[in-house]
Structure formats: C-alpha cells, structure tokens
Structure 1
Amino acid sequence: MPCLTLARPIEVLLIDDQRAILAGVTALIESEGPGMHVAGRAMTGQQALALASSAQPDVIVLDVDLGGEDGLTLIPGLLSACGAAIIVFTCLIDPAARHRAAHLGAAGFIQKTASGTELIAAIRRSTNSADVIETD
C-alpha cells in the first residue's frame, strides 16, 4: 500500500499596523486550506522580530508603513531572525521604495490593490524561487 505524505504548509507571518488588513489577509491565506497557514501576526516592528524568531515562517508579508515606523528597516533583522522570503505589501507605488526593498533583501513587492489571487501567487512563488517578484 503506497504511503501518502502531505507537504508541510507554507507558514506565513503577516506584519501590518491595520487590524482590518491583518484580518482580511489572514482569512485569505487560511482559505488556501492545508497548503498555507498564518504562523503569526504582528502590528509593530518589535512584535515582528520576536514572532519571526519564534515562529520561523517561510514567508513574511510586510507593510512599509507600520503606524509611522518604517517597515523596510526591519528587513535585515527579519532575514537574520528566520531567513524567510519577504514580500513587501504596500499602497506605495514609489520606485525608490521598490528599489530599497530589493536592496535590503525583499523577495517581492506587491501592491495592496492587487487581487487576493495575486498575493497568494506571490507567496507561493517566493517559496519556489530566488527571483524578485513584482506585481502592480
């Protein structure tokens, strides 16, 4: 009789200062079934760094503006804490922010106006590739 093994789910850490965004993206990710799971949610940089270290997620979805705190400054610390692929998820369309995020080590950059399908695809791609992901 063949032995079936289920792949480990993609563990995602969400970092955003807006509760509504956290709730919506959590629901979206959890709707992906056993293949994707929210490993934690943070609203501040301090919470994010602690959760990245303890949860060891595969992917981090990071907002640029964390209530006045620059989310991009967290990228090196997050990478050091867990090595997860980081997708910057923001309303900013500034090319300089995209360049800065990529320079700091982000694996992708996606607009908050993108569809849920695009965000899920970006999360999946970030675990399969070292290429930078950009979605408008």
Structure 2
Amino acid sequence: MANAARVEHAAVPCLTLAPPIEVLLVDDQRAILAGVAALIESEEPAMQVAARATCVRQALDLACSIQPDVIVLDVNLGGDDGLALIPPLLSFCTARIIVFTCLTDPEVRTRALSLGACEFVSKAVAGSALIAAIRKAMPPAG
C-alpha cells in the first residue's frame, strides 16, 4: 500500500470586504438619476445606490430613514434650492454631501461648501471625478 501524500494546507488569510458606500442620489431629472445610478452601480461592491430622490421632501425622508454614507445632491431641484437642503440633511444624518451640478458660478461652490458640503463636482466632468469624490468623502476604514 502506497503512502498517501501528506498535504499541508497553508493558512489562507480571511479577507473581509468593507461594506459598500451607500449613496443617496438627489436630482429632479430622472435621466441624470439613471445615469449616475448606473455609474455608481458599476463600482459594486465598493459602492451602491441606497435610494433616489427627486424632491426636497423625498430627500429628507430618505436621508432620515436609510442613513446613507454619501448624498449626491443637485443644486436645482425643480425650482427648489438644493443647497438650502444641506443643513437639514446634516441634522438628520451623518452623510457626507457632494454637490453635483451643472452650475459653475464660484459663489454657488462657496455657498455649498460653507453650508457643509464636503465636495463640489461639475456635471460637465467625466464620471470618474464623481466616483473619486465619493471615495474621497469617506474616511479610511480602520
């Protein structure tokens, strides 16, 4: 009877994946929501769309109920001021807010950041800039 070969099993480190970055999208234009959602979903499992809102009330309700990690917020929400939404959002949740807009006025950027947004991204730039801003908004794990 031949000796059975003894197989040593090397210790394999257990890899734990960080939970995905949960993103709430807020924009009154459904086509923008769909495009940004597809962009974020292409980054799974690192990030995912937690919910989408098209108006101020919906954004506040969702932010409070789902407690996202990041909120991507448009400035113009069907005539409502998206920037005015920043303080109440920050009082309802601990999400980092990224303003994502086609407006390029430096005063809008300054106002967004002074109200508590952590990033300001133009809709005119490549999608990779928004993904980078979402990653940057989250503190490193550990």
TM-score in same-fold range (> 0.5): yes
Whole-Å Cα distance in 1 between the matches of residues 73 and 44 of structure 2? Answer: 22
2:67 maps to what in 1? Answer: 56
1:109 pairs, out of 114, 120, 138, with 120
Task: Indicate whether 1:7 and 2:18 are aligned.
Answer: yes
1:76 maps to what in 2? Answer: 87
Give 5+ residue unaligned stretches, structure 2: 1-10
Query: What is the CA distance between 1:83 and its match in structure 2?
Result: 1.4
1:92 pairs, out of 67, 92, 103, with 103
Whole-Å Cα distance in 2 between the matches of residues 4 and 111 of structure 1? Answer: 36
Query: What is the CA distance between 1:68 and its match in structure 2?
Result: 0.3
More helix by share: 1
- Comparing 12-21 with 2-11, greater Cα deviation is found at 2-11
Provide runs of 4+ in structure 1 moved above 4 Å. none
Whole-Å Cα distance in 2 between the matches of residues 124 and 32 of structure 1? Answer: 11
Amino acid at match of 1:38: V
Amino acid at match of 2:23: V
1:133 maps to what in 2? Answer: none
Report the secondary structure of 1:106's partner residue: coil
* TM-score with structure 2 setting the length: 0.88
1:132 maps to what in 2? Answer: none
Give 5+ residue unaligned stretches, structure 1: 130-136
| Superposed CA offset, 1:59-113 (max 9, x none) | 1000000010000000011111111110000011111111111110000101001
Q: How many residues align?
A: 129
Task: Give the % identical residues.
Answer: 67
Whole-Å Cα distance in 2 between the matches of residues 19 and 128 of structure 1? Answer: 30
2:35 maps to what in 1? Answer: 24
When the two chains are superposed, the root-mean-square deviation of aligned CA atoms in Å is 1.0
Whole-Å Cα distance in 2 between the matches of residues 104 and 113 of structure 1? Answer: 23
